[in-house]
Amino acid sequence: MMKSSLWSLLLWAALLLSDVLATYQLNAWDHQLIAAQSHAQTRNNGRPPSRTLDPAKTDSQCRSRTLDLVFIIDSSRSVRPGEFEKVKIFLADMVDTLDIGSDATRVAVVNYASTVKIEFLLKSHFNKPDMKKAISRIGPLAAGTMTGLAIKTAVNEAFTEESGARPRSRKVTKVAIIVTDGRPQDQVEEVSAAARASGIEIYAVGVDRADMRSLQLMASIPLEDHVFYVETYGVIEKLTSKFKETLCGLDPCAMGHDCQHICVNSNASYYCQCRKDFILNADKKTCSQKQMKAAVVVEDPCKCEARLAFQKQTQAAIQQLTAKLADVSGRIERLEIMVGRA
């Protein structure tokens, strides 16, 4: 009974210490993330000049990734009309950076407050001017912050094949970008986990009073690549270049490489592979044919050497276990003595 109580006490203490350390590390990470990204946003160029959404204007494209992309935007009462216009300009700028088309990137927009409204589907617009006109017509819904409901609606209604999403066999990357300035009034952890499990990569953008913990629960990992924070809607446009790097990037293999056989994209870089029956040389670029080596067979009909080796390994393992058990028993006895004295 004394041993059982002692082990329970030690286990409880270890678990308590683990929880304290985990909580401290999470809180420290939260503050570092907010401080670092806030500093990064305020450091760049100050406040941008006032802009309006121009549906006719188009800009650069990215052609290296094909996406099914759904924006999930918060238009609750806390988002003032002028701020909501900034969000729409951000969406239009994002559309400008992408290669939009039925066989390229498709975009949908889900608008939410206490209710959820799908503004347009992935199959609705396949050119930039029409898509930007649709964005310019979006109006705020003005009450509540049902972020979990918005994510669930996006999964069940916007990311479906009926709504224009490509089938899984096409291997088209599915991405959701959530923009919010508040704390969700419903649960987001389970619906976000289900969305990620279904193959949707989630980016969470927090503005002003956004709850950082909720952003972390929604976003994909690594969090440092999927959670963003800006101090005001006035500087949200600065995230466009960041998303352009993330969602588009460059295609190093298409731009030119020095691999002898196969070039494989890896984020903003690449690495080389060889065709079957070849191996990569030390220079990590060229390939050499594998040399077939004749197998060397060692005759040991009675398997005596293997049996002796196994016996030696077994004896050594038993000796190590016996020594460890003796050490543990000694420690327990000493702890019991100390507890008895106390």
Q: Which pLDDT tens digit goes with each residue over 255-283?
A: 567 889 988 876 556 789 999 889 999 99
Average pLDDT, the chain: 80
Nearest of 100, 67, 68 to residue 165 by alpha carbon = 68
Nearest of 111, 180, 116, 113 to residue 142 by alpha carbon = 113
Residue 9 has pLDDT above 70, yes or no: no
User: Per-residue b/e over 217-251, b at no fewer than 16 CB within 10 Å?
Assistant: bbbbeeeeebbbbbeebebbbbbbebbbebbbeee
Confidence of residue 59 (pLDDT cuts 50, 70, 90): low
Task: Give pLDDT, residue 296.
Answer: 56
CA distance 215 to 198: 19
CA distance 125 to 202: 22
Nearest of 242, 54, 70 to residue 132 by alpha carbon = 54
> What does the domain layout of the chain look like in residue ranges?
49-249, 253-289
Most confident of 45-49, 134-138, 292-296, 332-336: 134-138
Task: Give pLDDT, residue 62.
Answer: 56
Stated pTM of the model: 0.60
Confidence of residue 47 (pLDDT cuts 50, 70, 90): very low
Tell me the per-residue pLDDT of 140-181, one tens digit each, with 9 for 90 and over: 997 899 999 999 999 999 999 999 999 999 999 999 999 999
Nearest of 119, 102, 187 to residue 154 by alpha carbon = 119
Across 94-103, 208-217, 308-317, least confident range: 308-317
Span 309-334, average pLDDT:
79
Residue 325 has pLDDT above 90, yes or no: no
CA distance 259 to 81: 53
CATH topology of domain 253-289: Laminin (2.10.25)
Confidence of residue 298 (pLDDT cuts 50, 70, 90): low
- Which helix (H) or strand (E) covers residue 179, if one does? strand 173-180
- Could you tell me the two tokens for 307? 């049996």
Tell me the per-residue pLDDT of 184-231, one tens digit each, with 9 for 90 and over: 999 999 999 999 999 999 999 999 889 999 999 999 999 999 999 999
Residue 314 has pLDDT above 60, yes or no: yes
Query: What CATH number should be reported for the domain whose range is 49-249?
Result: 3.40.50.410
Is the pLDDT higher at 40 or at 260? Answer: 260
Task: Give pLDDT, residue 22.
Answer: 40
- What angle, rounded to 10 degrees, do the helices at 2-43 and 304-341 form? 100
